[in-house]
Structure 1
Amino acid sequence: MKYGYSFLLLLLLFCCKVHTKTANQQPDPDLHLYLLVGQSNMAGRATPVGPDTVTVPNLLVFAKDKTWQPAREPLHWDKPNPGTGPGFSFGREMATLVTGKIRIGLIPAAHGGSSITSWVKGGYHDQTKGYPYDEAIDRAKAAMQTGVLKGIIWHQGESDSNPAAEQLHLVRLKDLINRFRTELDAPDLPFVAGELGYFKEPFKSMNQVLNQLPAQVPFTAVVSAAGLTHKGDNTHFDATSARELGRRYAQAMQNLQKGKSVK
């Protein structure tokens, strides 16, 4: 009986040790995380075809249920029938640029149709019945338990392409970047925004606002949408253009991480 109690005590101590080790497990430095945020052109509205549906060995996505899965389009679930956006192409390009055991983890958190005014604490977006900013922070922090956040890519502005909203857009975007960096404890976190498609005059005007960002906020960049085409609705990128935009995001992110000028 004495030996039986001793065995049970050792077993209990062993179990406690294993539990503590699991609870204190550190994020994997070789899992590089990127937060994908904005509205529908980040979520993607083009039909996934060919390369969009093929997984890449070292590319993962933080799925809706907060588990890591092999990445493929569609990455988002913000609205019915989501499609191809720049996120998957961005991740695939980043995956080709890393070496060794490094893996890329994408954290989808875009909300189609969202104004930048809904990207605040407690901000609600009726179209997706969600809280864009709060959900992005929640998902990022959950993913950061297993990896290291390396950057944010942002595509938004179509919903704010009007004179009244444009006047405040840069101030609101700067505030958003500051809140992301503060809440995620990453003061120098690279942030890459994307131009809107040059499909409408209001979008072109918004691009002039967006392009002021790098001169005013450190560790930021804006990627060009020049030459990209829409899927027939004068708003959303087609699959080919979404993939190209993703590659441009990846190059800009790489340049920021290396301390190079993007434009």
Structure 2
Amino acid sequence: MQPILEVSSLTKLYRGSGRGIREVSLRLEAGDIYGLLGPNGAGKTTLLKLITGLIRADGGTVTLFGVDRSLHHEQAMANVGCMIESADFPDFLTAWQYLRQSARFYPQVTEQRMEEVLDTVGLLGVRQEKIKGFSAGMKQKLALAAAVLPRPKLVLLDEPTNGLDIEGTVMFRSLIRRMSAEEGTSFLISSHMIHELEQLCSRAGVLAGGSLKIEADVSGLVLEGGTLEDFYMKQIREKGELQGA
């Protein structure tokens, strides 16, 4: 079966600091929920930006749904939703206006779908309020709503639970599980909330020093009596990457 996402030998190094990623390769299948773990500065956000084309790679390839993103960007990204780094919105818009602007890129998105995603994230009741009055958690929910609005087949999420309260975190888990099980949606999630990832993810990878050190089946770790946190800390210690984590 053709993978949803295939990253091959992806490399991006920043001048001066030398930080970035080196020769990273991974793949996601339909319905995968993949957790990307790593210390601060390990290159997690850089990897997500490279996958979406927000920054240019020094080497390697990104293939989405069998399409080389560097050659056919629009076609490759047509079924991808993303939320990368902190949510940033024009404060003068309402939540409804923002989603309506986002929907212009997806002809299949209806007002009913807009209401559905706002209801799912708990913002339907405040859809006519200006975003400038939203808390950080409310903005995070709106960013998540925009990411899943067109029913994408792959969703990339960078620290998606930042700012969310307990109810918001429970909503997030429920949404991810439902989309994966019912719609076959794949997720690549970068997060420091390792206990959340343990509950959600089918697979996980540890990114440290700009390289993908190891991948593991999460359910297999749990069945063996371990935890994702134990697995992560073991890999970081062995690779000498604990400083700055």
Whether the TM-score (by the shorter chain) exceeds 0.5 is no
Query: Which structure dedicates a bigger proportion of its chain to helix?
Result: 1
* Rg larger in structure: 1
- TM-score normalised to the size of structure 2? 0.30
Higher relative contact order (CA 8 A, sep 6+): 2
In terms of fraction of residues, the more strand-rich structure is: 2
TM-score where L is the length of structure 1: 0.28
